[in-house]
Amino acid sequence: MKCHEVDYEIFGDDMQIVEVELDPSEVVIAEAGAMNYMEDGIGFETRMGDGARPSGGIMDSLLNVGKRVLTGESIFLTHFTNNGHSKKRVAFAAPYPGKIIPLDMNALGGELICQKDAFLCAAFGTSTDIAFQRKLGAGFFGGEGFILQRLNGDGMAFIHVGGTVIKRELAAGEVLRVDTGCLAAMTSGVEYDIERSGNLKSMIFGGEGIFLATLRGPGTVYLQSLPFSRLADRVLRAAGPGGSKGEGSVLGGLGDIFGDR
């Protein structure tokens, strides 16, 4: 089905919000809990699935639920509809520091493969599905595992990635090697595989991980500078026993003995 045509505006820098403008009867779908605010006249309903395809019965619904579970997302999507007679706006917020990437799916060939927690919202008619890695090596060691998320449609979709985003256009046969966790999204024409990161010494002591992702064009690739797993690891290490470094203090952790005094 043809996607609804929505306008949008992105606000903020590191903790961004995308504000979507809906004409009367237009619909935008979003991850459950992503809504930040909405104007009067917009109604919302939580449904199982994106509504892009006619329901095939209870088995089809259960299959879609299973796919959502595999991608680590909520089994529900929220559908926001403009029930008024004039343009209305609804906004969605990023879940952690990073960038919201607006994607014209029609310009990308109608399909995008992204990391399994990247999807934020999209114009109604966009389908969200899963994409399995066909190669065992890429599945086991590729950072995102066997399961990635596939978006299909011809309208606007919005994904969120951690840190700063870099967009690279790969020519046919051009190869780019990246940290496995830093691959955020790619068009369907890009070949994805993994390779060892140098010799044994480099793999163990290099600090760059044991494997690198190898991307071969043609196609478009989106890279993120701060994967959420890396951010969460640093936070947990700082919050754990002995994790406080006392930044800015000569005393370091010794200053904690005196509390706020």
What is the tens place of the pLDDT at every residue in 1-32? 689 999 999 999 888 999 999 999 999 999 88
More confident residue, 208 or 126: 126
* Residue 228 pLDDT grade (very low, low, confident, very high; cuts 50, 70, 90): confident
Closest CA to 31 of 117, 153, 125, 152: 117
By percentage, how much of the chain surpasses pLDDT 90?
A: 46
Domain span including residue 49: 7-243
The verdict on residue 120 lying in a domain is: yes
Residue with tokens 């406080």: 244
136 falls in which pLDDT band (50, 70, 90)? very low
Q: What is the pLDDT of residue 226?
A: 86
In a domain, 164, yes or no: yes
% pLDDT > 70, the chain: 70
- What does the DSSP assignment read for 106-157? TTTTTEEEE-TT-EEEEETT-EEEEEE-SSHHHHHHSSS-SEEEEEE-SSEE
Average pLDDT, the chain: 79
Q: Which of 32-46, 48-62, 94-108 has the lowest mean pLDDT?
A: 48-62
Would you say residue 256 lies in a domain?
Answer: no
Q: How many domains is the chain built from?
A: 1
Only one residue has tokens 């820098």, namely 13
The structure's pTM equals 0.78
In a domain, 255, yes or no: no
- Find the CATH number of the domain harbouring 95: 3.60.160.10
For residue 254, being part of any structural domain is answered with: no
State mean pLDDT over 226-244: 74
Cα 32 from Cα 18, distance rounded (Å): 15
Tell me if 110 is assigned to some domain. Answer: yes
CA distance 178 to 196: 12
SS3 of residue 252 by DSSP: helix
Q: Is residue 161 one of the residues assigned to a domain?
A: yes
Can you tell me which residue has the tokens 């890695």? 133
Q: 3-class SS at 203?
A: helix
When mean pLDDT is compared across 51-60, 83-92, 136-145, 154-163, the lowest value belongs to: 136-145
* Domain contains 2: no
